């Protein structure tokens, strides 16, 4: 039986995709850790969606694409040449492909002009949680890029677009929404 634990991380380091080790608190692991959380949050939203629905199928696709972003972030900058576009490296085409989906979904409802109070239903609430985690993954990826972890990467634009898409999906799943008015708080 293969054991899940290896004890190699007990010293505070973690292994990287394509080899190498760094501290678990290094820029890359912080960013791919947030991406991993985003995958799980989208999985929670998917668990609330109807199986086989358009939303379910889209969330599966997005979870898989986040694994691509995670693989890129989990690769030592000196080994980035080993990354494969669309498999372990985010491409410009992946970023661009999110925009028509956002446009299509946005055409299905009236875009709120005020702040939105999350929680109209379980699917939308789960999507709003996922959106905030994707935004954190984006911030961590920006920090990783500034630390020299990402070179010529599309991870940050992908996460930026993905957060917009997840926001849009949440509003779509709400149907009618209740805006937050300043007099309400």
* Cβ neighbours, 10 Å, residue 48: 17
Q: Does the residue 139 lie in any domain?
A: yes
The pTM of the whole model exceeds 0.85: yes
10: left (phi over 0), alpha (psi -120 to 50) or beta: alpha
- pLDDT tens digits along 81-98: 999 999 999 999 999 999
Identify any residues that bridge with 75 across adjacent strands, giving them in sequence order. Answer: 17
Look at residue 161 and tell me if it is in a domain. yes
Per residue in 115-148, pLDDT tens?
888 888 999 999 999 999 999 999 999 999 999 9
> What confidence score (pLDDT) does residue 178 get?
47
Q: Which residues contact 103 (CB under 8 A, 6 or more apart)?
A: none
Is residue 143 domain-resident?
Answer: yes
Considering the domain boundaries, does residue 178 fall inside one?
yes
Confidence band, pLDDT 50/70/90 cuts, at residue 65: very high
Mean pLDDT along residues 11-37 = 84
User: How are beta strands 115-116 and 179-180 bridged, if at all?
Assistant: antiparallel
What was the pLDDT predicted at 151? 86
Query: CATH number, domain at 107?
Result: 1.20.1200.10
Residue 140 falls within a domain, yes or no? yes
| Domain hosting residue 123, numbered range | 17-184
> Considering the domain boundaries, does residue 87 fall inside one?
yes
Q: With respect to residue 170, please indicate whether it lies within any of the assigned structural domains.
A: yes
Domain count, the chain: 1
Would you state the pLDDT for residue 184?
Answer: 47
Say if 1 falls within a structural domain: no
14/173: higher pLDDT: 173
pLDDT greater than 90 at residue 46: yes
């Amino acid at each position: 039986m293969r054991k899940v634990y290896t004890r190699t991380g007990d010293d505070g380091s973690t292994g990287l995709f394509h080899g190498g080790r760094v501290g678990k608190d290094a820029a890359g692991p912080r960013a791919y850790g947030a991406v991993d959380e985003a995958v799980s949050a989208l999985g929670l939203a998917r668990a609330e969606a109807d199986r086989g629905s358009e939303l379910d199928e889209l969330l599966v696709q997005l979870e898989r694409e986040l694994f691509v972003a995670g693989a890129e972030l989990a690769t030592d900058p000196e080994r980035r040449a080993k990354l494969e576009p669309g498999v372990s490296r985010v491409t410009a085409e992946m970023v661009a492909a999110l925009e028509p989906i956002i446009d299509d979904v946005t055409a299905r409802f009236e875009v709120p002009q005020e702040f939105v109070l999350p929680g109209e239903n379980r699917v939308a609430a789960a999507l709003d949680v996922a959106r905030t985690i994707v935004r954190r993954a984006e911030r961590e990826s920006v920090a990783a890029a500034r630390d020299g972890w990402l070179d010529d990467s599309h991870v940050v634009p992908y996460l930026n677009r993905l957060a917009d898409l997840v926001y849009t999906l949440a509003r779509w799943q709400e149907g009618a929404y209740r805006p937050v008015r300043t007099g309400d708080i």
